[in-house]
Structure 1
Amino acid sequence: MGDSQTWTAGPGTAERARSVLATAWSCTVTAHGGRDELVGAHTVTDDGRVILQVPEDSALLTAAICAPRGEPCAVLEFADVAPVPVRSRIRARLWLAGWFAPEDGRLVFRATRVVLRRPSGAETVGLDEYAAAAPDPLATAEARLLTHLADAHPDAVERLTRLVRPESLHATTRVVPLALDRHGLTLRIERTRAHGDVRLTFHRPADDLAQLTERIHVLLAQAAATATCPRALQRQRADGDR
């Protein structure tokens, strides 16, 4: 990262981990010296177990049958990728260490260790906390919402920069929406050789799309009221046109 991130009033680590699981399309499985990339093959139960659909002749299935029960025999890795193209697009990585058990032709993975790594560092998630957590209610809609905001409403994104400290916008070349959850919106501020992220927190959590719309409108109203904050992006563009 070029700059440090500002994380405030965001989801807890367990909730963040469950959100990564709910939205990841692929996972990497490392087991018994082998490494497999599985696409569209996993689902997640309410208590956080990962179900893998694998062929009957899969080496993973054979390994699960032969492995000692209760000993970690595999590591699953999931990547949280920003839906909008940006530098350093991986927002987080989730690792689950544990063991597989074959059930009805599927592999059921039970975690014995859960680690979430974000740009701010790696955190271990307690197993009980992980099992009890639920994904962010906006997680499955986040990619569509961020893409729409970036593509259809760049003017709104620029207006939101009025809520950012002026010094954070110095030498900015582009601002794009990086992440969205019920607690707030994160903007990626890009510069020529560096970037940083700024968190805009909602006045209260949004648990559905109707509430999210209201929260975004509140932020835009706050931005409109911040008349003393310089329009750094407009100045940057105007200077570049000269």
Structure 2
Amino acid sequence: MPSAAERTRTLVQSTCSAVLLVPGLVAAPDHRSVPDDRSVGPRGDLFLRFPADSPLVRALTQGRDDEPAAVLEITDVAPVSVPHRIRGRARVGGRLSCVPGQAGPGRTMLRLETAEAFVDDLWGAEEVTADAFRDAEPDPFVAHEAELLQHLHAAHAERMGSLSALLGERTTPGCAAHGPDAVPLALDRFGLRVRFVEGGRACFDARFEFPEPVREIGQLRRAVRTLFEAASC
């Protein structure tokens, strides 16, 4: 399974929604701000781009505390329609500062020096140290997971339903048309997580591991095809 640090790093470098919380900047009208974009530096620090005239940037540059404490909160929502759609949340906390001359015209780059992190997702809740976060790599499919799940859901719904045959006694045997709806919920280099929805309300998750970890699209296609072939036997 992916480590907690890898899962946190994946969420940070994904397109999930995120807000920066800076409760110490009392001069800011709203201390909740959404960065235009975010990235992770080689030392594990977060770089967050904001409009130069945003209340947060003005409060930071005019504040007495040069490096206030801040937390980036990330919410991960499944890219397909499914019950209980929030897949997880992550937090990265540390000290916040401005990085002059790095953001382009009309923008200001802020650096969040990572001190601690936390993830609470489909795998469970775990704390992540700054060193572990720095050394982790995001999942290789982080930029494509949403479109891959949407494609599986839209173009391969029947084959997704056939995966219930791999669950043994967990579901009632029968054809996919009369089985639970199978919605692809999450994908990483180790496997595919599916949420089975019974009767439109009750649901449960099943994790289907790939024969070996995959790192590129060709390997992923073969791994998913192997799952479908196993389900059809």
Which of residues 221, 226, 229 is equivalent to 1:218? 226
> Against the structure 1 CA distance between its residues 214 and 69, is the aligned structure 2 distance closer, same or farther, given a 3 Å change threshold?
same
CA contact (8 A) 1:25 1:40 kept: no
Does 2:201 correspond to 1:202? no
> Against the structure 1 CA distance between its residues 161 and 186, is the aligned structure 2 distance closer, same or farther, given a 3 Å change threshold?
same
Which of residues 22, 35, 40 is equivalent to 1:31? 22
Q: Which runs of 4+ in 1 moved over 3 A?
A: 62-70, 168-173
CA contact (8 A) 2:161 2:179 kept: no
Which of residues 125, 130, 151 is equivalent to 2:128? 125
Corresponding letter in the other structure for 1:174: D
| Shift of residue 158, structure 1, vs aligned partner | 1.5
Q: How does 1:179-198 map to 2 (within 5 A)?
A: 179-191=186-198, 192-198=200-206
CA contact (8 A) 2:153 2:184 kept: yes
Which of residues 148, 151, 168 is equivalent to 2:151? 148
Partner deviation per Cα, 1:6-61 (whole Å, 9 max, x = no partner): xxxx2111111111111134311211264424153323334432222222233322
SS of match in other structure, 2:137: coil
Which of residues 162, 166, 169 is equivalent to 1:166? 169
Does 2:114 correspond to 1:111? yes
Shifted more, 116-125 versus 29-38: the winner is 29-38
Which of residues 45, 55, 60 is equivalent to 2:56? 60
Tell me how far apart the structure 1 counterparts of residues 172 and 33 of structure 2 sit (CA, whole Å): 39
| Shift of residue 166, structure 1, vs aligned partner | 2.9
Name the counterpart of 2:2: 11
Report 1 or 2 for greater relative contact order, CA contacts < 8 Å, sequence distance ≥ 6: 1
Q: Kindly indicate which of the two structures has a greater share of residues assigned to helix.
A: 1
> Against the structure 1 CA distance between its residues 112 and 53, is the aligned structure 2 distance closer, same or farther, given a 3 Å change threshold?
same
Corresponding letter in the other structure for 1:177: P
Tell me how far apart the structure 2 counterparts of residues 62 and 162 of structure 1 sit (CA, whole Å): 58
Name the counterpart of 1:136: 139
> Against the structure 1 CA distance between its residues 134 and 38, is the aligned structure 2 distance closer, same or farther, given a 3 Å change threshold?
same
Tell me how far apart the structure 2 counterparts of residues 118 and 67 of structure 1 sit (CA, whole Å): 37
| Shift of residue 222, structure 1, vs aligned partner | 1.6
What is the Cα-based RMSD across aligned positions, in Å?
A: 2.2
Tell me how far apart the structure 2 counterparts of residues 106 and 39 of structure 1 sit (CA, whole Å): 10
SS of match in other structure, 1:139: coil
SS of match in other structure, 2:8: helix
SS of match in other structure, 1:85: coil
Quote the sequence identity (%): 33
Tell me how far apart the structure 1 counterparts of residues 183 and 202 of structure 2 sit (CA, whole Å): 14
Give the TM-score, by structure 1 length: 0.80
Give the TM-score, by structure 2 length: 0.83
| Shift of residue 168, structure 1, vs aligned partner | 4.4
Which of residues 68, 93, 96 is equivalent to 2:92? 96
> Against the structure 1 CA distance between its residues 202 and 54, is the aligned structure 2 distance closer, same or farther, given a 3 Å change threshold?
same
